[in-house]
Structure 1
Amino acid sequence: MNTAEPGAPTPTDSVPGLLQILWLASPALPVGGFSYSEGLEAAVDADWVSDETSATEWLTDQLQLGLARADLAVVAQAIPAWRCGDMARIRALNHWVLHTRETQEFRLQTEQMGRSMLEWARNLGPLGTGVFERLQSAGLEPPTYPLASACAAAHSDASVRDCLMGYAFGWSENMVQAAIKSVPLGQSAGQRMLARLAQAIPAAVTHAQSLTDDTRQAFTPMLAILSARHETQYSRLFRS
């Protein structure tokens, strides 16, 4: 049975849609997500995050107030645009991501991860040709990670909602690993945190899918302050 959404292209390879989304969400994807804490390390340094409870609350808030309102909403709008070839829409969304990053760290992160996604597709050879050529032809200078990830997801036959679930879970895994290393915490604590985030992801995805250009937002002022502090933090494990 074909589960592709109307207008979705035929996948460029034989990997089923679910496996493609799991692949994109994997920490093994060579885009460098493991090297960023997205302000969490600065929150630990400020003693705002100091244990499992505070780390869980911090990341859950970041999922709901940051990721769901901004990057997840962008990916939700970008996947249909990639599937129907609306390059003007893609460029507009990419422009929005670039110009709503509140610190240099956050902007460098989305640029580096976007370029790495492009290289990942190029290095796959025939398996990644469709994604690589589509990203190149879009003329994004540079491609941001949400738009590059959406391009890769659009080449699967997975639903937009499932693509967003994968994106959010991949983010959660990276952030939990950042918490384990920076707080620090044990692996069992990390699994409990991931379980809490997994419970919160469906509602975050639903909210992201409900947002429009007028209601999508990137406004996390305290996170921006922590990120700016992190740029000159004396001792760091992470790039953000």
Structure 2
Amino acid sequence: MRQAEAGAALTLVQWLSPAFPVGGYAYSHGLEWAISAGEIGNAADLRAWLEDALRFGAGRSDAVLLAHALGEGADYPALAALAEALAPSRERLTETLDQGRAFLQVINALQGREWPEMPYPVALGAAARDLGLPPAQIVAQYLHAFASNLVQGAVRFVPLGQTEGQGVLAALHPLMLEVAAEACETALDELGGAALRLDLAAMRHETMEVRIFRT
């Protein structure tokens, strides 16, 4: 790997790491409700839930939006509006807007940029385009960060062992690569989702009396 490419890859890892202050740890994407309702009680349940999120839910939608945001001449305001329209619940909208805002606040401060607020996958695409990395690589890393955050939430609150959690995450790697590759070939008019149980979980989380996560 050339030094410039290696440096860009490290930058992407930094942006998507838990240490980058987007507050990902505060969002469960509806997972908290699913755990409290007994729908996720072991590693197999978690893997099935995340597979649906990646293949049919926000994982796939975000991947397509990110891929288009990385493209030449990307229309960021239009992509941002589409990302907001695709949010199926108030909490999902809050999640993508809050993380996108936090991400760009840091990017703007580090790089002297003036990116306006955008939903998270569009914000990442706008910033990452100049890295010059293959789009499928960027999308796959994003999906890994998305799933990793949810795995860590499940490790703490199902609870699962750390080894079990890492096993679930590793088992999802082929699916992440598959979804990333497909997203880079998907037109915006083909964008949509069908993860209804996950969407209902996010909606039901809004009315939980005791909540640890914001979503």
Question: Aligned-pair distance for 1:22?
Answer: 1.1
Matched with 2:152 is 177
Question: Aligned-pair distance for 1:76?
Answer: 0.4
Letter in 2 for 1:178: G
C-alpha distance in 1, partners of 2:189/2:24?
A: 29
Question: Aligned-pair distance for 1:43?
Answer: 0.9
Question: Aligned-pair distance for 1:167?
Answer: 0.7
Alignment of 1:91-240 (within 5 A): 91-124=77-110, 128-129=111-112, 132-133=113-114, 135-136=115-116, 142-240=117-215
Q: Contact 2:52/2:195 (CA < 8 Å) preserved in 1? A: no
Q: Contact 2:76/2:126 (CA < 8 Å) preserved in 1? A: no
Is 1:52 aligned to residue 43 of structure 2?
Answer: yes
Letter in 2 for 1:160: P
Give unpaired runs (5+ residues) of structure 1.
4-10, 137-141
2:76 to 84, 90, 95: 90
Paired residues, number: 215
Letter in 2 for 1:176: V
Matched with 2:62 is 71
Matched with 1:16 is 7
CA 1:224–1:110: 2 relative to 1, 3 Å? same
Q: Contact 1:31/1:116 (CA < 8 Å) preserved in 2? A: yes
Structure 1 segments of 4 or more deviating over 6 A?
Answer: none
Q: Contact 2:16/2:145 (CA < 8 Å) preserved in 1? A: yes
SS in 1 for 2:131: coil
CA 1:68–1:208: 2 relative to 1, 3 Å? farther
C-alpha distance in 2, partners of 1:213/1:149?
A: 17
Task: Give a deviation string over 1:188-231, Cα, whole Å, max 9, x none.
Answer: 11110111122321111122122112211144322221111101
2:32 to 38, 41, 44: 41
Q: What is the root-mean-square deviation of aligned Cα atoms in Å? A: 2.0
Question: Aligned-pair distance for 1:155?
Answer: 2.1
C-alpha distance in 2, partners of 1:109/1:67?
A: 11
C-alpha distance in 1, partners of 2:65/2:193?
A: 11
Question: Aligned-pair distance for 1:92?
Answer: 1.0
User: Greater shift after overlay, 48-57 or 212-221?
Assistant: 212-221
Letter in 1 for 2:122: L
Question: Aligned-pair distance for 1:68?
Answer: 4.4
C-alpha distance in 1, partners of 2:6/2:130?
A: 11
Q: Contact 1:16/1:157 (CA < 8 Å) preserved in 2? A: no
